[in-house]
């Protein structure tokens, strides 16, 4: 028996269709109840309870009690990263669902990948930040440039605090629908939080879907084109 982590056990847990649907539902970053997850998976509450217990025991889920309800969420961004990667492989190899919901085009445009922006807009921003000199990508990976640090600080993101945390500051996260990377890591989360607070983005209820508001369209379009003019970007929706 070889040494090292047992990836087969984790893969088997994720590979069950019902459990995969429940984990995918938690990619929104929001905590959901067992009943909500059972609905997402199309199974009974009793069956969902057994699946959730296995996922908790494996360390893939966290649970918090509030009143009469228990709320489940992914145990960390690394779990979301694995799920997004598997979605990318499934899309690339043609393992697509035969029934697509009406929200699919919207999800491809802009969605939450656990705690950062994904989809077409996420990829466009990543490319704009590289073109505008905020980020650098080389053989060592993705990093924040001195100019990018100054610009993000000017926009209200505490880069020093983010860099002092245990989580990587910035990480290239492969987007399953665009097949190109979007911005993850602590900076990706902080950027999404900023855009939501400014009213440039709006989250749909109980969904990974993100709506880009008209003011957000203007700001994100500038960033996507590599335009780092700070003062217009600081405008709010009022």
In a domain, residue 116? The reply is: yes
User: Average pLDDT for consecutive 10-residue bins of the chain (238 residues)?
Assistant: 74 91 86 89 91 93 85 88 83 62 71 91 95 91 94 93 90 85 94 96 86 94 78 42
Looking at the fold, whether 170 and 225 belong to one and the same domain comes out as: yes
In a domain, residue 47? The reply is: yes
What pLDDT sits at residue 228? 60
Measured between alpha carbons, how far is residue 230 from residues 146, 187, 224 in Å? 15, 17, 14
Q: Which long-range contacts (CB under 8 A, 24 or more apart) does 229-234 make?
A: 230/151, 230/154, 230/155, 233/155, 234/154, 234/155
Looking at the fold, whether 180 and 215 belong to one and the same domain comes out as: yes
Domain end marker among 24, 51, 75: 75
Q: Rounded to two decimals, what is the model's pTM?
A: 0.69
3 state DSSP class of 136: strand
Q: CA 116, CA 128: separation in Å to the nearest integer?
A: 16
Instruction: Say which CATH number the domain at 16 has.
Output: 1.10.10.10
Looking at the fold, whether 162 and 225 belong to one and the same domain comes out as: yes
Q: Which domain holds residue 31?
A: 7-75
| Residues 182/126, Cβ–Cβ less than 8 Å | yes
Instruction: Transcribe 140-159 into DSSP letters.
Output: TEEEE-HHHHHHHHHTT--H
According to DSSP, residue 235 is labeled: -
Q: CA 176, CA 106: separation in Å to the nearest integer?
A: 14
Closest to 158 in 3D by CA, of 172, 173, 144, 142: 144
What pLDDT sits at residue 31? 84
What pLDDT sits at residue 230? 45
């Amino acid at each position: 028996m070889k040494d090292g982590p047992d990836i087969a056990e984790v893969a088997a847990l994720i590979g069950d269709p019902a459990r995969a649907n429940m984990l995918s539902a938690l990619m929104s970053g929001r905590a959901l109840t067992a009943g909500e997850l059972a609905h997402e998976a199309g199974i009974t509450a009793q069956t969902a309870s057994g699946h959730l217990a296995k996922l908790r025991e494996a360390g893939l889920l966290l649970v918090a009690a509030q009143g009469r309800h228990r709320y489940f969420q992914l145990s960390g961004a690394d779990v979301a990263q694995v799920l997004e990667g598997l979605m990318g492989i499934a899309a690339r190899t043609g393992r697509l669902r035969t029934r697509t919901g009406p929200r699919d085009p919207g999800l491809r445009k802009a969605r939450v990948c656990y705690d950062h922006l994904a989809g077409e807009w996420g990829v466009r921003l990543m490319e704009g930040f590289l073109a505008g000199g905020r980020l650098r990508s080389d053989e060592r990976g993705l990093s924040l440039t001195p100019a990018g640090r100054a610009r993000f600080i000017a926009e209200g993101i505490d880069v020093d605090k983010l860099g002092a945390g245990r989580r990587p500051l910035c990480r290239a996260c492969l987007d399953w629908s665009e097949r190109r990377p979007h911005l993850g890591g602590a900076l990706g989360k902080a950027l999404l939080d900023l855009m939501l607070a400014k009213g440039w983005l709006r989250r749909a209820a109980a969904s990974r879907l993100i709506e880009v508001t008209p003011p957000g369209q203007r700001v994100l379009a500038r960033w996507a084109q590599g335009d780092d003019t700070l003062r217009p970007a600081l405008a709010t929706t009022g």
